[in-house]
Amino acid sequence: MGQVKPTLIIEDCSALGQISTVAAVTILQSLGETTALLPTSLLSTQTEGFGRPVQLATADWLLKTSHHWQDQRVEFKSALVGYLGSPHIIATVHQLLDQLRPPRLIVDPVMADQGQLYPGLTSHYPRLLRSLCRRATVITPNWTELCILAGQPVMAPSREHLTELMDRLSKMKITAPVVVTGVRNGPVIGYWLVEHQHVVYLPEKYFPGHYYGTGDTFAALLTGFLNRQFGLEQAITAAGAALTTAVAETSQLPEEERYYGLRLQALLADLARKG
């Protein structure tokens, strides 16, 4: 329908704060994107800091929505897949991607942090996520997720271990470029980009503390810059700088306010200035 090609956002939607889908929509629309939302579940809050959230499943609606879009001949520019949370939803997302066929697919394999899987995810979940990663144009795991995707115990980040993990992913037929997020290196934090056996580390300023939604925000920024035809390294650098702006603003808040996600005002103002 027409010449507009939206960007698909396929991940959970938290009704409180600026986490996951809310952050992705805000950022991508600020970058001039038209967005198409496929919330894999509706949550009353994010899963940390507010007790157990109320959840509404959306699988039937997702497939009916996809069929409607197909009937209207909607075409898509790209897709971002984030937190899914269940084997059934992973299977549904495969169906959606088969039907809607976005030419670029960014997969953020959200499942773990700080050495362990998120609560409620079984040991079979990483195997199912690998099937989505095989379809990806770019994958954006944190270090814990990279280790688990590769079927290895979580080890300390190092170039040697990174090479081992990438070799294992290749044997699993996961061949897309990988952007490893949140990798500390002394006084800085940054990203490892592994593309065609070439490895580069792209540093950013480190702010102590835990910041909820950084992975969601980075993946959305990366998607937006790739849609602007940035090269992958250039897109990571731009997304990392923008994310650092949001973390710097959020670092001024007390811990209990950070549960609502990153403050995005300064980030959005910066994006607006740069056009």
Q: What is the pLDDT of residues 89-111, one digit of tens each?
A: 999 999 999 999 999 999 999 99
Q: What is the DSSP letter of 44?
A: S
pTM of the shown model = 0.96
State the pLDDT at residue 197: 86
State the pLDDT at residue 192: 98
State the pLDDT at residue 112: 95
Q: How many residues does the chain have?
A: 275
Count of C-beta atoms within a 10 Å radius of residue 131 = 15
Residues lower than pLDDT 70 in the chain? 1-2
State the pLDDT at residue 171: 97
Beta strands per DSSP E along the chain: 7-14, 35-43, 55-57, 78-81, 105-107, 112-113, 116-117, 138-139, 178-185, 188-195, 198-205
The two tokens of residue 229 are 């035809």
State the pLDDT at residue 120: 84
State the pLDDT at residue 1: 55
Angle at 230 between CA 227 and CA 236, to 5 degrees: 100
Start-end of H helices in 101-231: 125-133, 143-149, 159-171, 214-227
From first CA to last CA, the distance across the chain in angstroms is 27
